[in-house]
């Protein structure tokens, strides 16, 4: 059983088939969205393939979009739809899983809004998009302007002429500032000074970054953002924006007021909009009945295998939360489940 049909879930389904768990009879994919595309179908229209970091293709099918200028929210879902057709993955949707429990017979009970499935093994691939994270700051409820998280961003036009505070030190914050600054007054606040990555980010640095995230998740600690590990890329736009002062950052305010944001040292910035580009948490609430989470709210994993429940694989989680990481994780999860369950033993539906 695979829960979630984004990059990680589709990769897992592909590799499960190659490990002897045929789609439909040996494995089932459930997905909460109404259409193919995972979280990509919900991303803002101005996010084009050219402005993503790079969407890696899924195993076995080249990703050959007509243009890099296509919105990622169109091109990636079209590719995923073709992928599901090509490999006969028969994703069942929309099916939203509400709980995964241990059944009495050694199988998992997977409860959803479309009924209950029984599964000998589960690959969880539910991503993060459905769990936007907004930190608490005093006065948030008193702010009279608009607050939105990255998930609600549709484009800069609606902020024209307004005063916008962008909160967050990740790639999304930088990208949204790039779009909004030309039409609005922007203020950028981050908890820590941004680390700009000068020079190439090679394989060695990539391996080191993944190793650090892996070590955190294995130990049951919150891994932090990917950018916290890799640094922010200085693209030509970022270079110009740094020179123009658009990316001059302030430390995060101490509180929100009805009309803006304020610091204890007396500084105040009036704001019409606070845009929280403050990231996501893993959408794993439905796994709570398995009681695998540490105090930090993290499920410790070794590779993709839940340390305390080896028949549960987590992909697109922690170190594999990128399109390339999700691809690799899908394969590891399929191989690990075959080891756990043996070929042909997985009658999942
Ligand atoms: P998702 O794509 O989120 O798929 C999860 C699926 O699970 C969804 O279809 C959802 O409906 C389903 N689901 C969730 N909960 C349930 C449930 N309870 N029951 C049933 N189904 C459920 N990575 C890159 O490598 N390159 C990039 O350029 C890049 N750009 C990014 C830009 C943004 C703005 C963001 C936020 C992330 C970006 N990433 C990028 C990260 C990348 O998108 C993800 O790591 C990867 O695509 C996530 O794939 P996934 O399969 O884990 O999750």
**Domains of the chain with CATH codes:** 2-130+280-343 (3.50.50.60), 146-195+231-276 (3.50.50.60)
**Among protein residues, the one whose CA lies closest to atom 45 of ligand 1:** 322
**Among protein residues, the one whose CA lies closest to atom 44 of ligand 1:** 322
Give the predicted TM-score (pTM) of the model. 0.91
10 lines ligand 1 (CB under 6 A): no
Distance 88 CA to ligand 1 centre (A): 21
Question: Ligand 1: which of 34, 93, 126, 154 to mutate, judged by most atoms within 8 Å of the beta carbon?
Answer: 126
Distance 50 CA to ligand 1 centre (A): 18
Distance 259 CA to ligand 1 centre (A): 34
Question: Ligand 1: which of 1, 2, 5, 38 to mutate, judged by most atoms within 8 Å of the beta carbon?
Answer: 38
54 lines ligand 1 (CB under 6 A): yes
Helices (H), the chain: 7-18, 72-86, 171-180, 203-218, 226-230, 236-244, 323-341
What pLDDT score does 210 carry?
A: 72
**Among protein residues, the one whose CA lies closest to atom 23 of ligand 1:** 322
Cα separation, 320 vs 329, in Å, equals 6
- Residues in the chain where the model's pLDDT stays below 70: 199-207, 222-230, 343-349
Distance 127 CA to ligand 1 centre (A): 5
- List the Cα angle 202/207/211 in 5-degree steps: 150
List the structure tokens of 128.
């993060």
Cα separation, 229 vs 215, in Å, equals 12
Contact 164, 184 (CB under 8 A): yes
Q: Report the relative pairing of strands 260-262 and 2-3 from DSSP bridges.
A: unpaired
Contact 29, 90 (CB under 8 A): yes
What pLDDT score does 212 carry?
A: 73
Residues 6+ apart with CB under 8 A from 21: 27, 334, 337, 338, 346, 348
pLDDT digits (tens, 9 = 90+) for 106-124: 899 999 999 999 999 999 9
Contact 93, 113 (CB under 8 A): no
Peptide bond into 94 cis (omega under 30): yes
**Among protein residues, the one whose CA lies closest to atom 34 of ligand 1:** 172
List the structure tokens of 294.
């540490």
Of how many residues is the chain composed? 349
Distance 143 CA to ligand 1 centre (A): 31
What pLDDT score does 345 carry?
A: 47
322 lines ligand 1 (CB under 6 A): yes
């Amino acid at each position: 059983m695979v829960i979630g049909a984004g990059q990680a879930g589709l990769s897992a389904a592909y590799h499960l088939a190659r490990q002897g768990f045929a789609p439909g009879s040996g494995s089932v994919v459930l997905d909460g969205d109404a259409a193919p595309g995972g979280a990509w179908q919900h991303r803002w229209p101005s996010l084009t393939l050219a402005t993503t970091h790079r969407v890696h293709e899924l195993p076995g099918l080249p990703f050959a979009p007509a243009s890099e200028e296509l919105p990622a929210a169109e091109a990636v879902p079209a590719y995923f739809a073709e992928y599901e057709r090509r490999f006969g993955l028969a994703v069942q949707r929309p099916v939203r899983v509400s709980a995964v429990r241990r059944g009495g017979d050694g199988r998992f009970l997977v409860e959803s809004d479309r009924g209950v499935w029984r599964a000998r093994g589960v690959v969880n691939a539910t991503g993060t998009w459905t769990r936007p994270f907004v930190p608490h700051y005093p006065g948030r409820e008193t702010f009279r302007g608009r607050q939105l998280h990255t998930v609600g961003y549709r484009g800069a036009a609606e902020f024209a002429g307004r005063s916008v505070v962008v909160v967050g030190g990740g790639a999304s914050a930088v990208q949204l500032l790039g779009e909004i600054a030309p039409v609005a007054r922007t203020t950028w606040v981050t908890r820590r000074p941004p680390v700009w990555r000068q020079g190439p980010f090679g394989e060695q640095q990539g391996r080191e970054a993944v190793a650090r995230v892996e070590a955190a998740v294995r130990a049951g600690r919150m891994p932090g953002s990917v950018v916290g590990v890799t640094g922010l890329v200085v693209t030509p736009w970022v270079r110009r924006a740094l020179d123009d002062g658009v990316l001059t950052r302030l430390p995060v305010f101490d509180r929100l007021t009805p009309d803006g944001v304020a610091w204890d040292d007396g500084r105040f910035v009036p704001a019409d909009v606070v845009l929280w580009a403050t990231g996501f948490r893993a959408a794993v609430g439905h796994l709570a009945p398995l009681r695998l989470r540490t105090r930090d709210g993290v499920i410790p994993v070794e590779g993709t295998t839940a340390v305390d429940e080896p028949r549960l694989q987590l992909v697109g989680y922690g170190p594999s939360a990128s399109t390339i990481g999700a691809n690799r994780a899908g394969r590891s999860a399929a191989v690990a489940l075959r080891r756990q369950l043996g070929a042909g033993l997985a009658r999942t539906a």
